[in-house]
Amino acid sequence: MVTDGTPLHRSGVLVRQPQGYRAFIPEELPPDPPIGLAELTETLSEADRAIGRLDGVSATLPNPDLFVAMYVRREAVLSSQIEGTQSSMDDVLAFELDATARRLPDDVEEVVNHVAAMNYGLARLTDLPLSLRLIREIHERLMRGVRGQEKSPSEFRKTQNWIGGSAPSNARFVPPPAHEVHRLLGNLERFLHEPAGLPPLVHAGVAHAQFETIHPFLDGNGRVGRLLITFLLVHAGVLGRPLLYLSYFFKRYRSEYYDRLTAVRESGDWEAWLRFFLRGVAETASEATETAGAILRLREEHDIATRDLPVNASRLLDHLYQQPLVTSGSVQKALRISWPTANKLVTEFEDRRILEEVTGQRRNRVYRYSPYLELFAGDDTEPS
């Protein structure tokens, strides 16, 4: 190894490798000189207030866990789209309804894996600290049986990777060489447990940026790095429920996201990255708060619209917030009622424009709870 440059202020050093390209080796955490928290006071306060409002309104929902389930799916779709998948929320719901359904994108299982990995990680946090072991377990579930499964799921890389370009020599960014990965991950794990007095939101922002810079897996780094944010905030007690997911913000401002991470690496500008990150927290939490309020209003509207129907109507409404894509057969199974009763109930909901039939077929009909799903609409589009 040949070092052909001086350490970059607070960030790291570019080191020429025997093959001729240069790889970036970041400084260990916490940053030195320390993060200038005084520069972040206003943005941090705004983010904290937005999260507080989100926690408050989510607690008023009839069943907050159903709201969480939709946001987990939403995050899985968006985070996977950043990595190039084409599947939508409807594709994921259709797969959950019938995994053998035709005309689903080939990559839908990648998104479904993301949902499973997220739920697994959240459950494991109750008995396992946020650690390299948990990160590896999450990665294994993320990559199980899908594109990239040949790239050593759950194993930290033993070879060089790169971002952009066809080789390290023409890449946009070359992470640290493989022999540095374990040392840097060991430091990151210590930082996860000892946040050096940083506020939890700032701690999460620093940890995410460092994980992305280390890029410890051959594939799936971006998705795991975005999951890490939510896991950290849940583990720290900042979020009462896992409702804050930044993939939509990162996707919407993709160029700025990469520019801010690049500035950390090139000039140690942690503060500019963290202002961007905290702005994302505030915007994302505020949008989720608005969605939660809209769900409350929708539920009240549809409670009133179905009040004259038998008691199973209320049970079906509850089920639709968990599974907004249904068939008469799936309603029969979920509500444990006869098929004629389920079919009649679904037809009533369709007549009242609560459900929308989406196949146009006479048999094997599928119904969509469109008013609810439209509250999450717009997330699948690229920003202008």
User: Last residue of a domain, which of 225, 257, 290?
Assistant: 290
Residue 301 lies in a domain: no
Same domain, 183 and 69: yes
User: Last residue of a domain, which of 226, 255, 290?
Assistant: 290
- Across the chain, mean pLDDT equals 90
Same domain, 60 and 200: yes
Same domain, 254 and 199: yes
Same domain, 243 and 348: no
pLDDT band at 384 (very low <50, low <70, confident <90, very high): very low
pLDDT band at 84 (very low <50, low <70, confident <90, very high): confident
Residue 14 lies in a domain: no
pLDDT in tens, 117-129: 999 999 999 888 8
Residue 20 lies in a domain: no
The residue whose two tokens read 């930044």 is 246
Q: What is the mean pLDDT of residues 82-109?
A: 85
Same domain, 62 and 208: yes
CATH classification at residue 263: 1.10.3290.10
pLDDT in tens, 346-355: 999 999 999 9
Same domain, 193 and 251: yes
CATH classification at residue 331: 1.10.10.10
Q: How many CB atoms lie within 10 A of CB 140?
A: 18
Q: What is the mean pLDDT of residues 148-161?
A: 84
Same domain, 182 and 216: yes
Please give the residue range of the domain that contains residue 342. Answer: 310-376
Query: Residue 208: its pLDDT value, please?
Result: 98
pLDDT in tens, 34-81: 999 999 999 999 999 999 999 888 888 877 887 788 888 988 898 888
Same domain, 105 and 179: yes
Same domain, 275 and 341: no
Is residue 274's pLDDT more than 90? yes
Query: Residue 382: its pLDDT value, please?
Result: 41
- 3-class SS string, the chain: CEECCCCECCCEEEEECCCCCEEEEECCCCCCCCCCHHHHHHHHHHHHHHHHHHHHHHCCCCCHHHHHHHHHHHHHHHHHHHCCCCCCHHHHHHHHHCCCCCCCCCCHHHHHHHHHHHHHHHHHCCCCCCCHHHHHHHHHHHHCCCCCCCCCCCCCCCCCCCECCCCHHHCCECCCCHHHHHHHHHHHHHHHHCCCCCCHHHHHHHHHHHHHHHCCCCCCHHHHHHHHHHHHHHHCCCCCCCCCCCHHHHHHCHHHHHHHHHHHHHHCCHHHHHHHHHHHHHHHHHHHHHHHHHHHHHHHHHHHHCCCCCCHHHHHHHHHHHCCEECHHHHHHHHCCCHHHHHHHHHHHHHCCCCEECCCCCCCCCEECHHHHHHHCCCCCCCC
Q: What is the mean pLDDT of residues 297-302?
A: 94
Same domain, 282 and 329: no
Lowest mean pLDDT among 221-235, 248-262, 370-384: 370-384
Between vectors from CA 74 to CA 306 and to CA 373, what angle results, nearest 5°? 25
Rounded to 5 degrees, φ, ψ at 142 are: -65, -40
Residue 208 lies in a domain: yes
Same domain, 121 and 211: yes
Structure tokens at 97: 């309804």
Residue 21 lies in a domain: no
Q: How far apart are CA 41 and CA 71, in angstroms?
A: 29
Residue 329 lies in a domain: yes
- Structural domain tally of the chain? 2
pLDDT band at 104 (very low <50, low <70, confident <90, very high): confident
Q: What is the mean pLDDT of residues 158-185?
A: 96
Same domain, 173 and 271: yes
Residue 66 lies in a domain: yes
Residue 15 lies in a domain: no
User: Last residue of a domain, which of 227, 260, 290?
Assistant: 290
